[in-house]
C-alpha cells in the first residue's frame, strides 16, 4: 500500500531530459509533483503562495537565478532540497551538488537516503569487489518461519563448502542466537564463526552504524550472506524512515540480490500479502523478489486461496515461486535441541525442501 500521505515534490531542473527522467521516476513511486519551475523567480513566487513546508525540492545548479543566498532560503522554506550538478553550473559555488543518478533505482535510493536524515549516511558500495550473493528473507506476517528458513538455508549453503554469513536483522525480536545456543552474539558487530563454513552476526540498536559498516565489508569476505529481516510492514515509510530499526531493510533494498518473501495462504496471510504486494508495486527496490508459500495444516479449508496467492504475486513478476511443506515435528525437535535441521534430522521433508532451495541458489 502506498503511503497514506504521498510525498510532494517540486522540480527546478533546467535540462529537459534530466527533469523528465526525475519527474517520471517520482511519479512511478507514487509522488505528487506540485510545480515544475523553469527559473528561480517562478519557483520563489510559487513557494510564497503555496504550502512549501512539506515539499521536497529537486533543483539543478544551473537553474536561472540561483545564488548561494537563494539556495539557503530554499532550504529554510522546504522540507528538503536535493541539489544536482550541471555542466553549465558554477560548481565552485555549490560544492555539495551531486550528479543526477544514471538509473531510476539509483535515483530512488538517493532520494530515500537524503530524506531519512539518517543515523547512517548511505554507503551502498565501496571500492571493494563484491563477492557475496546476498539473499534477504522477510515475510508479510509475523511468526511464519523467516528465522527457520534463514538458519537452515545458511546451514545448507555452508555444508556445500561455501563461506556463508547468517545475519539476524530482526529489529526488536532477534532469535538466531537463542535458537542455535549462541550466547554473546550481540557482543560484537563483527561476524563470529559458529560452525564449519558458517558465521553469524546480530545487528543491534546500540551499534547499528558499525553493524551496517560490517555488512558492507562482508560483501567481499563471504560467498553468501543470508539476512533475516523478519516482518515487513509500511514499506515506503521504512525506506525513508529515521529509525534505527529501518536500517537493515534499507541496506537490503539497495544491496541484496534476492528477497524471498514468506506467506501463508490462510485468510489472514492472504490479506497481509495483498498489502505488501501493493507496497512493492509502488516502491522500487534492487533485489529480485521471490515468494515462498508456507504450507499449514488444514489448508483444504482455504479452497481458492492458492489462486488468490498467485493472482497477487504474478503481477510483480517474481524471480521464483517456492513452497515449503508443513513439518512441525522435525522443526520442534531441532529447536528443542538448538540444532539445524541438517544436524537434527537430515531426512525430514522440510530439511530436504530447504536443501533444494540452497542448491538452486548455489547453481
| pLDDT, averaged across the chain | 88
Residue in 202, 213, 291, 293 with CA at minimum distance from that of residue 255: 213
As separate numbers, helices (DSSP H) first and strands (DSSP E) second, the chain gives: 14, 12
pLDDT over threshold 90, residue 193: yes
Helix (H) or strand (E) holding 353: helix 349-362
Helix (H, G, I), strand (E, B) or coil at 6: coil
Q: Is 87 exposed, middle or buried (0-12, 13-18, 19+ CB in 10 A)?
A: exposed
Among 229, 306, 224, which Cα is nearest to 265's?
306
Domain ranges of the chain: 8-100, 133-362
Q: What is the Cα–Cα distance from 188 to 281, expressed in whole angstroms? A: 37
Which residues, in sequence order, are CB contacts of 92 under 8 Å at separation 6+?
none
Q: Write down the pLDDT at residue 299.
A: 61
Query: What's the pLDDT score for residue 185?
Result: 81
In the predicted structure, residue 300 carries a pLDDT above the cut 70: no
- The pLDDT confidence band at residue 4, using thresholds 50, 70 and 90, is very low
Q: Catalogue the E-assigned strands of the chain.
A: 8-12, 32-36, 55-60, 80-84, 133-139, 164-168, 192-195, 198-202, 224-231, 258-263, 288-294, 321-324
Q: Phi and psi (nearest 5°) for 70?
A: -65, -40
Of all residues in the chain, the percent with pLDDT exceeding 90 is 59
- Do 133-362 and 8-100 have the same topology in CATH? yes
CA distance 61 to 84: 6
Note the pLDDT of residue 111. Answer: 84
Predicted confidence band of residue 358 (pLDDT cuts 50, 70, 90): very high
* Tens-place pLDDT, residues 112-130: 877 765 444 444 444 568 8
Using one digit for the tens of pLDDT, what is the confidence trace for 148-177? Answer: 999 999 999 999 999 999 999 987 888 899
pLDDT confidence of 302, banded at 50, 70, 90?
low
Q: Is the pLDDT of residue 310 over 60?
A: yes
Superfamily of domain 133-362: P-loop containing nucleotide triphosphate hydrolases (3.40.50.300)
Local confidence band at 186 (pLDDT 50, 70, 90 cut-offs): confident
CATH number of 8-100: 3.40.50.2300
Which of 97-111, 289-303, 338-352 is modeled with the greatest confidence?
A: 338-352
Residue 164 Cα to chain centre, angstroms: 20
Window from 24-28, 41-45, 125-129, 260-264 with minimum mean pLDDT: 125-129
Percent of residues, the chain, with pLDDT higher than 70:
91
What pLDDT score does 124 carry? 47
Torsion angle of the four alpha carbons 128, 131, 132, 134, in this order, in degrees rounded to the nearest 10 = 70
Q: Say what the pLDDT of residue 350 is.
A: 95
Amino acid at each position: 500500500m502506498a503511503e497514506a500521505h504521498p510525498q510532494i515534490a517540486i522540480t527546478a531542473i533546467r535540462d529537459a531530459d534530466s527533469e523528465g527522467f526525475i519527474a517520471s521516476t517520482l511519479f512511478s513511486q507514487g509522488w505528487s509533483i506540485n510545480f515544475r519551475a523553469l527559473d528561480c523567480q517562478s519557483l520563489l513566487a510559487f513557494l510564497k503562495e503555496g504550502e512549501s513546508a512539506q515539499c521536497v525540492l529537486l533543483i539543478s545548479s544551473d537553474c536561472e537565478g540561483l545564488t548561494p543566498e537563494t539556495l539557503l532560503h530554499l532550504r529554510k522554506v522546504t522540507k528538503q532540497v536535493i541539489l544536482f550538478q550541471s555542466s553549465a553550473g558554477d560548481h565552485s559555488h555549490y560544492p555539495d551538488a551531486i550528479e543526477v543518478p544514471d538509473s531510476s533505482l539509483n535515483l530512488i535510493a538517493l532520494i530515500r537516503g537524503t530524506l531519512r536524515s539518517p543515523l547512517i549516511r548511505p554507503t551502498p558500495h565501496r571500492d571493494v569487489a563484491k563477492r557475496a550473493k546476498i539473499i534477504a528473507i522477510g515475510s508479510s506476517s509475523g511468526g511464519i518461519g523467516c528465522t527457520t528458513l534463514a538458519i537452515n538455508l545458511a546451514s545448507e549453503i555452508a555444508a556445500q563448502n561455501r563461506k556463508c554469513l547468517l545475519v539476524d536483522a530482526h529489529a526488536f525480536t532477534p532469535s538466531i542466537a537463542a535458537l542455535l545456543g549462541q550466547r554473546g552474539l550481540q557482543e560484537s558487530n563483527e561476524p563470529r564463526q559458529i560452525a564449519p563454513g558458517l558465521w553469524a552476526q546480530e545487528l543491534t540498536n546500540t551499534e547499528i552504524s558499525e553493524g551496517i559498516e560490517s555488512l558492507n565489508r562482508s560483501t567481499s569476505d563471504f560467498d553468501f550472506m543470508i539476512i533475516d529481516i523478519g516482518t515487513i510492514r509500511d514499506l515506503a515509510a521504512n525506506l525513508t524512515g529515521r529509525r534505527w530499526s529501518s536500517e537493515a531493510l534499507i541496506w537490503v533494498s539497495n544491496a541484496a540480490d534476492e528477497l524471498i518473501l514468506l506467506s501463508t495462504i490462510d485468510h489472514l496471510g492472504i490479506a497481509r500479502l495483498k498489502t505488501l504486494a501493493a507496497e512493492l508495486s509502488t516502491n522500487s527496490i534492487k533485489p529480485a523478489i521471490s515468494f515462498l508459500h508456507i504450507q499449514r495444516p488444514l489448508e483444504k479449508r482455504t479452497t481458492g486461496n492458492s489462486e488468490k496467492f498467485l493472482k497477487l504475486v504474478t503481477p510483480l513478476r517474481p524471480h521464483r515461486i517456492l513452497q515449503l511443506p508443513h513439518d512441525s515435528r522435525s522443526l520442534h525437535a531441532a529447536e528443542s535441541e538448538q540444532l539445524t535441521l541438517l544436524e537434527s534430522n537430515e531426512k525430514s521433508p522440510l530439511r530436504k525442501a530447504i536443501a533444494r532451495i540452497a542448491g538452486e541458489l548455489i547453481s
